[in-house]
Structure 1
């Protein structure tokens, strides 16, 4: 081969290799950016959810505020919310937080389903190791808040009367299964730990690496059974305290993770995303008015929070808000386990007439305590399993 032809051939090979390397590097960078963006939006969604939860858990303990429909559906609560809107006063934000704030829980269930699929769908997870490992993660988070709350509760009457069953059931996370769970769990938000343990069992034993139709079937069965129950009965109360009442958002998270590439929520089309969000807001209020609509409300809530996170992630002029929500999401676990402590200490201020002053102090104290406890929890080693 002539020297000039060989030189051209070598040059072409080098160029092709360089282009291939550049393409591979760009693909890796795109994957990394997509992963980071997805993680950031997940943190933003957790931030929005925990804000709703910890503010709701303060406001709904204030006597004059509208009460929520969380475990049962009470039409009178809906009527009270409608009256609060028609005769709006300075307490309207507190009414809205009390009535709607608990919908942060379905968002956490959605994110849990999404995360489990992304982490374990391509990997075999031995059942014993999976369940014990997730129990330890929940226990490490729960026990710190539980210990601190027990101490504060004992020093600030009225104190809760614990018995052996209540304590053991909380530590082993099966208190949701007890009769009248709303009378057996204290602090109230800690019902979530038993709920999550049930979902870990359900996922690993029934849904892990199974056809997506199995998830759809379980979701449909849980919804159909709920629709047959009395809206205000004790059976409904116990049903909603356990995984059946939260299967809809959890299953939605699993399905969204599976079909995420096919269901992009209009990609980068901000106008369509904003339009969908503006539709979801009144739709959510409309669904909250009836028992059937209330059953499907978590779908609209999860979609609304997902759209909000996507819009905030791309809105450069709201980058400060997006970062703040992501930071709130990063301490959401600690805030969840510690806010009952600050609530019990500070809520008397609001009950004695200084409603917003007490709320502001509660917000500051809760976030500060959560920031400290978050660092403590992360320093507690998990046993190898």
Structure 2
């Protein structure tokens, strides 16, 4: 699932910067974007794949959130994470502060190299580096609090995808303080409903309020809670069941994109569809995605740098050549980062 998710994210983050591409509804909702996508879908041209990736590719994020919630339960509640020798690794649940310290350092270790290199490249290519990377913005990004300390996080987070680090830190805090302490299904439902209500109210107050809310954990609790629930109580289904869920999810995600109330719930069906699709894939298709999944964290860190370098040369011509070079460069950078990380000590709880 991580392999499919990261491909969607990295391709979306490139395609949605192409001027002609239909833009997504990710943090805020505009029905005009959905209608524009429908026009492209019903009258397709040779750029239809770019429109699909631009409009839907960001849904790789809820898949990552689902996997994160699932992984936390498997690691700290089930003891079924494999160690380096392929054996079950037993982890005791640490106190909240050591838990948060460990996960902060884990995220920081992953983020810092990509961030430093991206900032350096930005300064070399642009004249507004001192404004874009002011001291307070750098400090907020390194502290992973940039999502909520600025009124307009989408204007100050650069590279844009790095908002995810602050989001994950919030979800780790929510897990250790709430979801791990009370492990029943009711607390998950309560938080999902509360976050849904907050988003409804934020939308009523204005687009900027909704944007700020969804840059933080309120928009992420639904898929994260689903991952926790699936790890605790999930059951296998027959292939026919997975096929039915895949088709249902496709329809709901497509048509749920046209109304705000439905749109808030589409991440749930993205996750259901992703899980079901993975269960249906034959090994010859699943194996490449699985390999990509092992690189997913490094790809997430490095693909903004590859985009920064490549997209300016192919934004208006040779579009697909640019995408190919971008993907190749991002994978090469990611493998290099993964190699470098072997020599950086991992944090310990």
- Residue 237 (structure 1) aligned with residue 211 (structure 2): yes
Give the whole-Å Cα distance in 1 for the aligned partners of 2:266 and 2:29. 12
User: For residue 243 of structure 2, what is the aligned residue in structure 1?
Assistant: 274
- Kindly report which structure 2 residues correspond to 1:130-279, keeping only aligned pairs within 5 A, or say none: 130-157=99-126, 159-160=128-129, 161-177=132-148, 178-210=150-182, 211-230=184-203, 233-260=207-234, 263-264=235-236, 266=237, 269-279=238-248
- Kindly report which structure 2 residues correspond to 1:121-132, keeping only aligned pairs within 5 A, or say none: 121=77, 123-132=92-101
1:357–1:234: structure 2 CA closer, same or farther, 3 Å change rule? same
Give the whole-Å Cα distance in 1 for the aligned partners of 2:243 and 2:203. 37
User: For residue 314 of structure 2, what is the aligned residue in structure 1?
Assistant: 350
Gaps of 5+ in 1: 1-44
Are the equivalent residues in 2 in contact too, given 1:349–1:357 (CA < 8 A)?
no
> What SS class does the counterpart of residue 65 from structure 2 fall into?
helix
User: How far does the alpha carbon of each residue in 1:171-205 deviate from its partner, in whole angstroms, 9 at most, with x for none?
Assistant: 00000012100111100000000000000111111
User: For residue 369 of structure 1, what is the aligned residue in structure 2?
Assistant: 333
User: How far does the alpha carbon of each residue in 1:319-340 deviate from its partner, in whole angstroms, 9 at most, with x for none?
Assistant: 2321110011000000001001
User: How far does the alpha carbon of each residue in 1:328-374 deviate from its partner, in whole angstroms, 9 at most, with x for none?
Assistant: 10000000010011101110232131111111111111111111111
Give the whole-Å Cα distance in 2 for the aligned partners of 1:159 and 1:287. 40
- Residue 115 (structure 1) aligned with residue 71 (structure 2): yes
Please report the TM-score for the alignment, with normalisation by the length of structure 2: 0.92
Are the equivalent residues in 1 in contact too, given 2:202–2:213 (CA < 8 A)?
no
Give the whole-Å Cα distance in 2 for the aligned partners of 1:379 and 1:154. 27
Please report the TM-score for the alignment, with normalisation by the length of structure 1: 0.83
1:383 shift after superposition:
4.3
Are the equivalent residues in 2 in contact too, given 1:156–1:345 (CA < 8 A)?
no
User: How far does the alpha carbon of each residue in 1:242-287 deviate from its partner, in whole angstroms, 9 at most, with x for none?
Assistant: 0011111011111111112xx32x1xx2233223212221221011
User: For residue 41 of structure 1, what is the aligned residue in structure 2?
Assistant: none
Are the equivalent residues in 2 in contact too, given 1:138–1:193 (CA < 8 A)?
yes
> What SS class does the counterpart of residue 353 from structure 1 fall into?
coil
User: For residue 307 of structure 1, what is the aligned residue in structure 2?
Assistant: 276
Give the whole-Å Cα distance in 1 for the aligned partners of 2:229 and 2:41. 36
- Residue 320 (structure 1) aligned with residue 284 (structure 2): yes
> What SS class does the counterpart of residue 226 from structure 1 fall into?
helix
Give the whole-Å Cα distance in 2 for the aligned partners of 1:174 and 1:380. 24
User: How far does the alpha carbon of each residue in 1:200-259 deviate from its partner, in whole angstroms, 9 at most, with x for none?
Assistant: 111111111313311211111101221233276111000000001111101111111111
Are the equivalent residues in 1 in contact too, given 2:141–2:157 (CA < 8 A)?
yes
**132-141 or 224-233, which moves further after superposition?**
224-233
1:133 shift after superposition:
0.4
1:155–1:117: structure 2 CA closer, same or farther, 3 Å change rule? same
Q: Which runs of 4+ in 1 moved over 3 A?
A: none
Are the equivalent residues in 1 in contact too, given 2:106–2:347 (CA < 8 A)?
no
User: For residue 35 of structure 2, what is the aligned residue in structure 1?
Assistant: 79
Gaps of 5+ in 2: 79-91
1:271–1:384: structure 2 CA closer, same or farther, 3 Å change rule? closer
Aligned length: 331
Max radius of gyration: which structure? 1
